[in-house]
Amino acid sequence: MCQKCQIGILVFCLISGGIALENGLARTPPMGWLAWERFRCNTDCKNDPENCISENLFRTMADIVISEGYAAAGYEYINVDDCWLEKERDRFGQLVPDRQRFPRGMKALADYVHSKGLKFGIYEDFGNYTCAGYPGVLGYLRTDAETFASWDVDYVKLDGCYAHPSEMDRGYPEFGFYLNQTGRAMMYSCSWPVYQIYAGMQPNFTSIIEHCNLWRNFDDIQDSWASVESIIDYYGNNQDVIVANAGPGHWNDPDMLIIGNFGLSYEQSKTQMAIWAILAAPLLMSVDLRSIRPEYKAILQNKKIIAVDQDPLGIQGRRIYKHKGIEIWSRPITPLYQNYFSYAIAFLNRRTDGTPSDVAVTLKELGLTSPTGYRVEDLYEDVDYGVLSSQTKIKVKVNPSGVVILRADVQNDFKRRIPYYTTQRTIYNPLSQVFRIRNNGF
């Protein structure tokens, strides 16, 4: 087919909306390990060979994800971020991995990750350059999509440095179109909305949902509690716009898990994991798995909290209460009974006054109103409260900058639990009464 004909067909598809992402992926939020927050753009393999961005680092992390139980807990992607490239394309216009740090190439690295039963992700940028100054995809969208497919890539993160936000409404779907055209299913992570928000534009989330599996809305996470708090605030303050966009196949991404690094205390780490689960967030660890302490590893591998994050309904939770440093976040989950959801409830203490805070509230005040009651358990402390009625007042003690996360499974009677229903049983309307709660305190 002539080049003008191909361009004409693509333009028609873009205008008609006929290039929706059709990869069948991300039915629950993706889980894995990502290099960026912990290892950044360390390319000094001569002086720091153990920590530089190289094939050895990713092979090592893949080994640990398997041997230390992360894969068994659900983490499956090993994702390269920026700084893996040579500074120039080859004479055919192809991307070239850094020849010193990735001497066997990206196909060989993908093969190694796949040999472990894991999946392989890679990074690029919609602009002329990546954020760190390496070649971007602009002008090479089809070529680079085909290159990634030839390397057996499973996940593509497309950043937005050195690009015009006004061109992203066309460019991100176009690159997704070429990913689809390869015939290989590749998870597509977009930075499309955040760059438009920075530019004062209103993102077209209808199109973003149609073309991306996940996307960034807010600032990059840094290794600090202040950064985590800013993300929590952003998602709470903007939840009326954000929440409805999440669901199976398409997720809001508040950025990486920094649990086990340097900036969070033990309590703050528990908070990030719990709130990310309430947000139905991708769980992408960015930590040195070789040296992580056991208590932080236990947070990342908490299967009960991971089950909340991976709930098949795919409903993102909301902040339902905020007063004097105490917040309550709620997420509808399976199982369901009649018109009643089960819930995950997170009590968050934003205070720093040095003593735990008591929060007492009835299940009814939390919106849990089924007459058949709820079986309630604490997901960090493994405390089973038994089956409680909606009139029961429950009291939790929440540490400063800490969290208590409960799971409340609706019952079909007071003696036995019901089986989990499929996601087709209930259609969630975020403007319905699911999240109604009094705003005047408890």
Taking only the tens place, the pLDDT of each residue in 74-103 is: 999 999 999 999 999 999 999 999 999 999
Is 159 annotated in the active site? yes
The answer to the question of residue 440 being in a domain is no
Q: Are strands 403-410 and 374-378 parallel, antiparallel or unpaired?
A: antiparallel
User: What sign results for the dihedral spanned by CA atoms 265, 267, 273, 279?
Assistant: negative
My answer on whether 75 and 175 are in the same domain is yes
My answer on whether 304 and 415 are in the same domain is no
pLDDT at 108 over 80: yes
Identify the band that residue 202 occupies on the pLDDT scale cut at 50, 70 and 90. Answer: very high
d(CA 279, CA 38): 23
Mean pLDDT of the chain: 91
User: What sign results for the dihedral spanned by CA atoms 294, 300, 301, 303?
Assistant: positive
Is 81 annotated in the active site? no
- Residue 394's CATH number: 2.60.40.1180
Of 322-326, 330-334, 382-386, 404-408, the range with the lowest mean pLDDT is 382-386
The answer to the question of residue 252 being in a domain is yes
The residue assigned the tokens 């497309």 is: 158
My answer on whether 217 and 333 are in the same domain is no
Look at 9 and 191; give whichever has higher pLDDT: 191
- Residue 7's CATH number: 3.20.20.70
Identify the band that residue 22 occupies on the pLDDT scale cut at 50, 70 and 90. Answer: confident
CA–CA–CA angle 137, 142, 147 (5° rounding): 80
My answer on whether 304 and 426 are in the same domain is no
My answer on whether 150 and 171 are in the same domain is yes
Q: What does pTM read for this prediction?
A: 0.91
- The SS3 call for residue 296 is helix
Per-residue burial over 207-226, b if 16 or more Cβ lie within 10 Å, else e, is bbbbbbbbbbbbeebebebe
My answer on whether 304 and 337 are in the same domain is no
Among 82, 159, 311, 409, the one annotated catalytic: 159
What domain range includes position 374? 318-435
The answer to the question of residue 64 being in a domain is yes
Among 220, 233, 288, 378, the one annotated catalytic: 220
Candidates 12, 423, 434; CA nearest to 249 is 423
**Structural domain total, the chain:** 2
My answer on whether 352 and 289 are in the same domain is no
What is the DSSP secondary-structure string of 9-65? Answer: HHHHHHHHT---------SS--EEEESHHHHTT---TTT-TTTSSSHHHHHHHHHHH
Domain boundary among 309, 331, 364: 309
Look at 86 and 424; give whichever has higher pLDDT: 86
